[in-house]
Amino acid sequence: MATGIFAGIAVRDYESAAQWYVQLFGSEPAFCPNDIEAVWQLAEGLYMYIVEDPDRAGGAVSMIWVDDPVSEIARIAERGLQPVDVEEHGNVRKYVYRDADGNETGVGGEVSQPK
């Protein structure tokens, strides 16, 4: 069974994408292994990274599961980003964000009551 994840997102422009993901994740990267990659540690054993790769940019789909999605979305809004869509599946809510390349990152989890 897996004990961690190291998920990558291809982007066209590293510099502008890195700024956007700082807003989404709420922190600077944990480390940058080279000039075209940045890695964020979201929790123990859970990493997401961006890599400049224009030929593959724009096709990523991912979701970050959080304990309190409503509060997390409020924190992300304070950093200047708004979801482009909200999906509801019973008591699970997924807030959809898209970077400039069209990569989708969902932030969601269980909510106490449907909105």
Q: How far apart are CA 73 and CA 38, in angstroms?
A: 22
Is the pLDDT reported for residue 19 higher than 90? yes
Which pLDDT score is estimated for 10? Answer: 98
Cβ atoms 62, 46 nearer than 8 A: no
Is the pLDDT reported for residue 114 higher than 70? no
* Residues ≥6 apart with Cβ < 8 Å to 74: none
- 69-99 pLDDT, tens digit per residue, is 999 999 999 999 999 999 999 999 999 999 9
Alpha helices by DSSP H, listed for 1-115, are: 14-25, 69-78
State the pTM of this model: 0.92
| N-term to C-term CA, the chain | 35
Q: Which amino acid is at 12?
A: R
Is the pLDDT reported for residue 38 higher than 80? yes
For the chain, domains (ranges, CATH) are: 5-110 (3.10.180.10)
Which pLDDT score is estimated for 1? Answer: 80
Which pLDDT score is estimated for 14? Answer: 98
